[in-house]
Amino acid sequence: MKLMMWSIYPIGFLIKRDKSIWLFGSYSGFTDNSRYLFESTTKKNDVRCIWISDDIKLIKKIRCKGYEAYYKYSVKGIYFCYIAKVYIYSNYVSTINFYTSAGAVLVNLWHGTPLKKIEYDISKSPLFNYFKGASFIIKILMPEKHKKCNFILAPSQFVYDYSFKSAFRGV
C-alpha cells in the first residue's frame, strides 16, 4: 500500500497551492502546539485554517466547536491537502498527509523541549534504525520520518542550538 501511495506524491509539485489555506494536525488528537496555533490563527480573516485528522470522531468534535475539519482520506480532505500551501503539525507531516505534501511549506511545532536525544541525534537502537541508521527500505516505508520540514519552532535559541539544529538536520 505504501509503495502505491508514492505514486501520488509528485502530484503535489504540479498543483498550484493556495497560500491562504493552512492545514493543521497533531499526532494525538486535537492537542499540542498545533491546536493552540490553530485556534489562534482561525480568528484571523486572511487565513483559512483547516484541521486534518484520521479520526472521524475527532473531526465531528472539532466541527461541533465551529471549526473546519476533514478526514485525511476523504475527497475533501485530500483536495485540501493538495491545494493548501502550509502544513502545520507537532511531530510528523504524516499527521496531515505525507503523500500530498510535495510543494507545501512544512512547519513543525514539535511537542516539547527535549530532555533526551531525538530524531537524527539518536545513536542507539531501536530508534536509531528509523533515523540516522535507516536503511533504504525503512526510508521508503516510513518517509514521514525523513521528510525535512521548512521550519521548526524552538522555545529558545539555546534549545535550537543544543538539540533541534542537529536533530532536525539544520532546519
| Each residue's pLDDT tens digit, 63-91 | 999 999 999 999 999 999 999 999 999 88
Query: Under 8 Å CB-to-CB from 32, ≥6 apart: which residues?
Result: 26, 90, 109, 111
**Which pLDDT value is given to residue 75?**
97
Confidence of residue 47 (pLDDT cuts 50, 70, 90): very high
In angstroms, the Cα distances linking 144 to 53, 59, 61, 101, 162 are 15, 22, 26, 10, 23
With vertex at residue 94, the alpha carbon angle to CA 82 and CA 99, rounded to the nearest 5 degrees, is 40
Mean per-residue pLDDT, 103-128: 72
Mean per-residue pLDDT, 119-138: 64
Domain 2-165, CATH among 2.60.120.380, 3.40.50.620, 3.30.70.20, 3.40.50.11820: 3.40.50.11820
Average pLDDT, the chain: 84
- Is pLDDT larger for residue 99 or for residue 144? 99
Confidence of residue 155 (pLDDT cuts 50, 70, 90): confident
Percent of the chain with pLDDT over 90: 50
Which SS3 state, helix, strand or coil, does residue 167 take? helix
Q: Which residues pair with 151 in a beta bridge?
A: 107
The pLDDT of residue 2 is above 70: no
The pLDDT of residue 36 is above 60: yes
Region of residue 112 (left: phi > 0; alpha: psi -120 to 50; beta: else): left
Measured between alpha carbons, how far is 149 from 169 in angstroms, rounded to an integer? Answer: 9
- Is pLDDT larger for residue 50 or for residue 146? 50
**pTM strictly above 0.85:** no
The pLDDT of residue 97 is above 60: yes
